[in-house]
Amino acid sequence: MGVIQQHHAKLYNSAKARNWALAEYQIDEIKEGLETSVRLYPQFKEVKELSVLVPAATKDGLENLSKAVRNRDIDEFFTAYNSLTNSCNACHNAANRGFIVIQAPAASEFSNQKFEP
Q: Which domains are assigned to the chain?
A: 2-94 (1.20.120)
DSSP 4-36: HHHHHHHHHHHHHTT-HHHHHHHHHHHHHHHHH
What is the model's pLDDT at position 22?
97
Sign of the dihedral defined by the CA atoms of residues 35, 37, 39, 45, in that order = negative
What is the model's pLDDT at position 109?
83
- Of 73 and 50, which is predicted with more confidence? 73
For the segment 33-50, the average pLDDT, to the nearest whole number, is 87
What is the tens place of the pLDDT at every residue in 45-61? Answer: 887 788 888 999 999 99
What average pLDDT is seen over the chain? Answer: 93
For the segment 17-27, the average pLDDT, to the nearest whole number, is 98
pTM over 0.95: no
pLDDT band at 16 (very low <50, low <70, confident <90, very high): very high
For the segment 64-81, the average pLDDT, to the nearest whole number, is 98
What is the model's pLDDT at position 86?
96
Half-sphere exposure of 41 (CA within 13 A, CB side): 12
- How far apart are the two ends of the chain, measured CA to CA in Å? 27
